[in-house]
Structure 1
Amino acid sequence: MTNEEKKYWIGFSCVPGIGPKKFKTLLKYFGSAEKAWKGDLREVGFKEESIRNFNNFREKFDFSSYFLRLEKLGVNSLILEDKNYPESLKQLEDAPFVIYLLGEILPSDELAIGIVGTRKITGYGKQVTESLTADLVSNGLTIVSGLAYGVDYAAHSTALEMGGRTIGVWAGGLDTVNDGFRKSLVEKILKQKQGTIISEYPLGFEPRRTTFPQRNRIISGLSLGVLVTEAAEDSGSLITAKCAVEQGRKVFAVPGPITSSLSAGTAKLLKEKAILVYNVKDILDEINIAVREKGLAAREILPENENEEKILASLKNENRNIDEIAKITRIEISQLSGIMAILELKGIVVNLGGSVFGLGR
């Protein structure tokens, strides 16, 4: 394909209302994106309003200016027919005909798991997400998520901490992603060269309520399967799970406390035959990846003295506040606080807030 033809593919990605389905229709009828751009859309039977909107956009759109903006921001683009376009995404019937990227996709990113869930993450959800993410990264998988707060953030951050790769799928133009808490996350991913940020939306496109569910099909499309670690019954992460089913991907869910409304979504998925996840092996077995036992053994939590052994034993089956730990271990609070601080620095325990502790990764 010539660069000139590719230019018009990218041009169509900027046209409001032209998605994969309409672009496919145009390409089939006109034979090329260039001919479609310069042609009369009445021939294809588009509605009068769509034709009028396109004609107005075409008159005003400046290719040179747009490509200059892409270059200044360091944004790359791949069209559906490029050899570097992700193969797993290419398989989708509604695959984006253009994707924009910050960073680069590597061949190893074909081995990826999507991790999604609630934005209102609990201590339990954070612990589970971090633990499973760390184990997946230790077994060579790339982590795909949606750059949202909560489960998404925990998954991306843990992948980075573990030295793994992560892909963030954004619901707007890549010039709109550097806001709030996402700014430092995106900067880390790109500065450390540990992943990429992807969007099907052009520069200048602000994320909308409707584009978040739309981007979910890309999260699942880039993944061998989707893991939901914690979610309410109306969570958007269930849309990602639905996309995964429709795309023939595996859906995994972590059971949670029945007293928590943020476990209702995962419970629903499990009733609908999602694969129950107790540990990382449940995922790896389903996607036919052998467990790297050495990697997991290296992260096994081992106490260094009798007091640490007592503390870890008290946290084996549930999270506890410091008063409960003191009562069970019979260690004075003054001494216990110091030990907990050391264990926290080692990453052996985590403070889940309100002096409640759980086992670390």
Structure 2
Amino acid sequence: MQNQELKYWLAFAKLSLFRNKHFLFHKNFFDSLADFWNASFDALTDAKITDQVAHNFINTRSTINPEQELEYLYKYNLDVLLFDEPNYPSLLKEISSPPLLLFYRGNKEILHQQLFAIVGTRKFSSYGKQITLQLTQKVVDNNLIPVSGLALGIDTIVHQTCVNNHFPTVAVLGCGIDDNTIYPRSNYRLAQEIIKNNGIIISEYSAQTEALKHHFPARNRLISGLSLGTLVTEARQKSGALITAHFALEQNREVFAVPGPITQSTSDGTNNLIKLGAKTVTTVQDILDELNLPQKIAIQKTRNVVPDSPEELEILNQLSSESKHINQIALACKKSITYINAQLLLLEMKGRVHNLGNMHFTLKT
């Protein structure tokens, strides 16, 4: 596409005044997007645009400079997918309010593969961390590409698991995706790793657009809209992850949830989703069966965890896929907590154990 046309796509998207499918209808009344952008009130109403929207458009378009929007695109080295192009994600086109365009950095080809959303609370429990690690790993093992929102908490665990496996993942942001604006800032390096590992970061917001509160519900509709289904691994009753689940239902996509302890508030949201009809997930097979996907790996291979010393062997023998507190390990090994903690830190750095937080650990398989 020529820059002359692209700059107006960028300007219309920044304006956010026309719903996507309406925009394509109105666009057909003009010879070019430049004519549409500069149209008079009469020309706009002749294109079946209501008087109110036409007035709003004329009054606000002067606040946006199409040339500047194009300059930002190149300055920050961003790419863009336009709604009327064949490489725009097909599943996203099916939702009621797909964005006019998507800004992206990374491998756009994965947007046409089988995507699966995994989301959850920012403040997770050790249980939530453990099941998210395990289920994300199994999803990866079965060649489903995880989609999440790069937020702190469960989203970070999902993306980091993919990066650790050198497997692509899709991160959908509620802000610009230029280096200066990626949010949260603590996940800037993770965003770069996602791109390096053949993944992609995407957003409907242009460069330098800050992360505002109302952007995140809008972002969530894209997470679910890109995906065959959405899994909530852990969520409180008012978690933003539940917004993603509700969007998935509206978009006629499958919703999955992991049941959790009734004594933990971090499981209130997921337990309630199951009451409302979400599919219960205890293994990846529950997801594959519901989506009618074959299991790519019938028998998962357990990694050989080879200790480097007798001290490591003693600790590894106390660990399994079940969570264990450091006090239990120290008691079984008859060693001080300080000693066990130092050994566990080394094992974690070697990628042999998972630190679930709150001094709970599992064997990494």
Out of 166, 177, 180, the residue aligned to residue 182 of structure 2 is: 177
* Greater shift in the superposed pair: 163-172 or 297-306: 297-306
Structure 2's unaligned 5+ residue stretches are none
How do residues 257-336 of structure 1 correspond to structure 2 at under 5 angstroms?
257-293=261-297, 296-299=300-303, 307=314, 310-312=317-319, 315-317=320-322, 319-327=323-331, 329=332, 331-334=333-336
Quote the residue 2:23 is aligned against.
23
* Greater shift in the superposed pair: 6-15 or 350-359: 350-359
How do residues 218-229 of structure 1 correspond to structure 2 at under 5 angstroms?
218-229=222-233
How far apart, in 2, do the equivalents of 1:30 and 1:93 lie?
24
Quote the residue 1:86 is aligned against.
89
How far apart, in 1, do the equivalents of 2:25 and 2:154 lie?
38
Structure 1's unaligned 5+ residue stretches are none
CA contact (8 A) 1:109 1:141 kept: no
The 1:234–1:164 alpha-carbon spacing in structure 2 relative to 1, beyond 3 Å, is: same
The 1:316–1:103 alpha-carbon spacing in structure 2 relative to 1, beyond 3 Å, is: closer
1:110 aligns with 2:113: yes
What value does the CA root-mean-square deviation take over the aligned residues? 2.9
* Greater shift in the superposed pair: 175-184 or 118-127: 175-184
Give the superposition deviation at 1:293: 2.9
1:147 aligns with 2:154: no
For residue 15 of structure 2, give the secondary structure of its aligned residue in structure 1: coil
Quote the residue 2:193 is aligned against.
188
How far apart, in 2, do the equivalents of 1:109 and 1:302 lie?
39
For residue 185 of structure 2, give the secondary structure of its aligned residue in structure 1: coil
CA contact (8 A) 1:26 1:33 kept: no
Quote the residue 1:344 is aligned against.
348
CA contact (8 A) 2:76 2:207 kept: no
How far apart, in 2, do the equivalents of 1:80 and 1:195 lie?
21
How far apart, in 2, do the equivalents of 1:292 and 1:339 lie?
36
Quote the residue 1:36 is aligned against.
36
The 1:103–1:295 alpha-carbon spacing in structure 2 relative to 1, beyond 3 Å, is: farther
The 1:38–1:336 alpha-carbon spacing in structure 2 relative to 1, beyond 3 Å, is: closer
Identity of aligned residues (%): 38
The 1:45–1:67 alpha-carbon spacing in structure 2 relative to 1, beyond 3 Å, is: closer
TM-score for both structures, normalised by structure 2: 0.85
CA contact (8 A) 1:139 1:295 kept: no
Q: Deviations over 1:51-94 (max 9, x none)?
A: 44422443353323221210121111111111211111122232
1:122 aligns with 2:125: yes
How do residues 188-207 of structure 1 correspond to structure 2 at under 5 angstroms?
188-190=193-195, 192-207=196-211
How far apart, in 1, do the equivalents of 2:349 and 2:197 lie?
26
How far apart, in 1, do the equivalents of 2:267 and 2:177 lie?
32
The 1:116–1:311 alpha-carbon spacing in structure 2 relative to 1, beyond 3 Å, is: same
The 1:332–1:338 alpha-carbon spacing in structure 2 relative to 1, beyond 3 Å, is: farther
TM-score for both structures, normalised by structure 1: 0.86
The 1:316–1:151 alpha-carbon spacing in structure 2 relative to 1, beyond 3 Å, is: closer
The 1:309–1:57 alpha-carbon spacing in structure 2 relative to 1, beyond 3 Å, is: closer
Quote the residue 1:217 is aligned against.
221
The 1:163–1:4 alpha-carbon spacing in structure 2 relative to 1, beyond 3 Å, is: same
The 1:152–1:31 alpha-carbon spacing in structure 2 relative to 1, beyond 3 Å, is: farther
Quote the residue 2:136 is aligned against.
133
